[in-house]
Amino acid sequence: MLAVPPGPHRTQPKETASTPIGSLLRARSLLPGLWFWAGLLLLIGVTIVVFVSMMAGAWIRSIHVPTNLNQIVASPPITTFTVQRTAPYAGLKITVMTAQYAPSFVDDDIHLGPAVVRLTLHVANPTSSQIGIVYYDSARLLIPKVQPLAPTNVHLAASLNPGTNATGWLDFSVPDTVHLDSLTLQLGSPSLHEWLVKIPFKGAFDASRYADASSPQTLVITYNYNDAGPLLTYHLTKVDTRFSYRGSQCQAGKHFYILNFLVDNSNDVDVSPGPSFQYVRLLVDGNTLTPVENSLPATFKAGTQGVAGQVIFMAPAGLQTVTVTFLSQNTGGHQDYEVNL
């Protein structure tokens, strides 16, 4: 049997290293898995952020923030002293109701010192005139061994109509060691040289020293103003002694002396002596004083009776006797009348 010669020798192909194309194919096969895990991590991160945000929001909403600052700012301690003393000034009746001491007051941020004294005042106007007061000029707080203090803040009406009243306060910046019962309120303008009124908060106090006085009179004056014309008859009914007149406080050491007249013109013609500034005088200790104010008419109608008017002088305080003088307006003569007050 013939032997079959062997065929050509075939070698098996050897396994070769991966080609770039093969690497790309394997990378592509891995991408779906990476996208899955990245998406899962992103979802978890978003879930965590949303959860934390919700929890933080709930916590913030649970916090109570008061809208009224007074609830979170403690009011400073306040010491109060009841005064309840009244005195007249410039025609007004001024009552110091209370004095308070505190490092500060929540409704007043004007304090120049370590503490504040607040005076609560009741002010009444019993007169027939509107009266105004500049408290920054006329009010002073007196503290022992300290210069008089002007107000740093005023919460009072600047003027009062006739027959009205008001309540308010004055604040003063003070040292940090002040005893309220040692204080005094002084009323009166030093710059205008006014008569000063003092209201001590404790101890001796006599408000009657500032009270008005009135002296009834029965003097009758027959006045021939030009020594040739018709006569007028002046009835002096009373003389009022006052510390103030129509809202003006008298100067220190003086008083207002108010002469109240009723005037008759029994003539059948009008008589015009002119304003009383021209012919009425007050003679005091050899000094001739001219009126500071007058409400007598310059002309008296024919046949009128009891025409009322006042002639006001400012003269030294405490007078017991004065001389009322009527001047003749043509000859320079005069008629003098002594009046006891």
Phi and psi torsions of 204, nearest 5°: -60, 135
The pLDDT value recorded for residue 59 is: 57
Convert the pLDDT of each residue in 298-319 to its tens digit: 999 999 999 999 999 999 999 9
Phi and psi torsions of 24, nearest 5°: -60, -40
For the record, the structure tokens of 262 come out as: 């009723």
pTM, rounded to two decimals = 0.74
What's the residue count for the chain?
341
The pLDDT value recorded for residue 225 is: 85
CA–CA dist 61, 99 (Å, integer): 44
CA–CA dist 141, 165 (Å, integer): 22
Which residue is it, tokens 């009891």?
A: 306
Across the range 136-161, mean pLDDT stands at: 95
pLDDT at 29 over 90: no
Residues near 252 by beta carbon (within 8 Å), at least 6 away in sequence: 188, 193, 194, 195, 196
CA–CA dist 122, 119 (Å, integer): 10
* Residue 337 contacts residue 323 (beta carbons within 8 Å): yes
**How does strand 248-249 pair with strand 153-155?**
unpaired
Across the range 60-82, mean pLDDT stands at: 65
DSSP three-state, residue 73: coil
Given pLDDT bands bounded at 50, 70 and 90, which one contains residue 14? Answer: very low
* Residue 186 contacts residue 139 (beta carbons within 8 Å): yes
CA–CA dist 110, 121 (Å, integer): 19
Amino acid identity of residue 41, one-letter, is L
The pLDDT value recorded for residue 44 is: 76
Across the range 16-23, mean pLDDT stands at: 48
Which residue is it, tokens 């895990």?
A: 37
Of the listed ranges 58-62, 131-135, 150-154, 289-293, the one predicted with least confidence:
58-62
- The 10 Å Cβ neighbour count of residue 125 is 23
CA–CA dist 292, 56 (Å, integer): 80
The pLDDT value recorded for residue 106 is: 86
15-19, 190-194, 233-237: range with highest mean pLDDT: 233-237
CA–CA dist 149, 180 (Å, integer): 14
Name the residue among 100, 117, 87, 252 with its Cα closest to residue 186: 87
Given pLDDT bands bounded at 50, 70 and 90, which one contains residue 52? Answer: low
Given pLDDT bands bounded at 50, 70 and 90, which one contains residue 108? Answer: confident
Name the residue among 235, 251, 245 with its Cα closest to residue 324: 235
DSSP three-state, residue 1: coil
Given pLDDT bands bounded at 50, 70 and 90, which one contains residue 144? Answer: very high
Given pLDDT bands bounded at 50, 70 and 90, which one contains residue 113? Answer: confident
Q: Which run of H or E residues covers position 43?
A: helix 20-62
Given pLDDT bands bounded at 50, 70 and 90, which one contains residue 16? Answer: very low
Domains and CATH numbers, the chain: 79-210 (2.60.40.4170), 213-340 (2.60.40.4170)
Convert the pLDDT of each residue in 79-99 to its tens digit: 999 999 999 999 999 999 999
